[in-house]
Amino acid sequence: MEKVISIVGAGGKTTLVHKLAREYHRRGKGVLVTTTTHMYVEADTDLSCDFFSLRDKIIKDGYCMAGQKISEQSKPKMCGLPYDLLDRLIKDMPQALDYVIIEADGAKHHSLKYPAADEPVIYPLTTDVIIVLGTWEKGKLCKDVVFRYELMQNELGMAEDVVVDDSVIDTLRQVYVKKLRDSGFEGRISTYYR
């Protein structure tokens, strides 16, 4: 196992998850994609939560997206694998599983997010966290583009008419870093601006 990477923030998490998975798989690495929150189910997603099925898929294909189905909507969603199953896959597959990539936050398609008290949801064996911050809506009102803006406004005392700029984006990055460190996460934290 090389890394367990948790992707947090907003504005392109799922895109980054799949970009990293494709790149590592292209390099011949074994990759597992899952979530600690919710993700849309994709065509090749394994929803069995069966150790042997997941193990065999990773060994055979070098890639597996896996979770537990939670909805039957037009775009079905899944939650992540149970931690004990994820722990077992990591422990029992050191030669075949190189990277676990986890979508560990939700933002309901917003470009930026202010995390709530129980967010992000970091898997305990995470080695690296990447904070995703969408920068394409600079100049727009924060209240229109920041997920959980009301919480941000209450906790940071922001005015109603604040617009997204580099300072706001950096404040959101700092909030994530502080929350991660305060939670005891000691691994690598990086930022991906999109």
Q: How far apart are CA 191 and CA 24, in angstroms?
A: 19
High-pLDDT (> 90) share of the chain, %: 91
Q: How far apart are CA 31 and CA 34, in angstroms?
A: 10
The HSE-up count of residue 187 (CA atoms within 13 Å, CB side) is: 16
**pLDDT score of 75:** 80
CATH number of the domain that residue 162 is part of: 3.40.50
* Overall domain count for the chain: 1
Query: How would residue 71 be classed by pLDDT, with cut points 50, 70 and 90?
Result: confident
Domain with 82, as residue range(s), is: 3-193
Write out pLDDT tens, residues 159-169: 989 999 999 99
Length of the chain, please?
Answer: 194
Tell me if residue 23 falls in helix, strand or coil: helix
Write out pLDDT tens, residues 93-151: 989 999 999 999 999 999 999 999 999 999 999 999 999 999 999 999 999 999 999 99
pTM confidence score: 0.95
Query: How would residue 73 be classed by pLDDT, with cut points 50, 70 and 90?
Result: confident
Residues 6+ positions from 4 with CB-CB distance below 8 Å = 90, 99, 100, 102, 123, 125, 126, 127, 128
**pLDDT score of 72:** 72
Query: How would residue 11 be classed by pLDDT, with cut points 50, 70 and 90?
Result: confident
- The answer to whether 5 and 102 are in contact (CB under 8 A) is yes
Query: How would residue 83 be classed by pLDDT, with cut points 50, 70 and 90?
Result: very high
DSSP category for residue 46: B
Interaxial angle between packed helices 83-92 and 51-61, expressed in degrees from 0 to 180 and rounded to the nearest 10: 50
Query: How would residue 48 be classed by pLDDT, with cut points 50, 70 and 90?
Result: very high
Q: How far apart are CA 85 and CA 125, in angstroms?
A: 13
- The answer to whether 17 and 114 are in contact (CB under 8 A) is no
Query: How would residue 74 be classed by pLDDT, with cut points 50, 70 and 90?
Result: confident
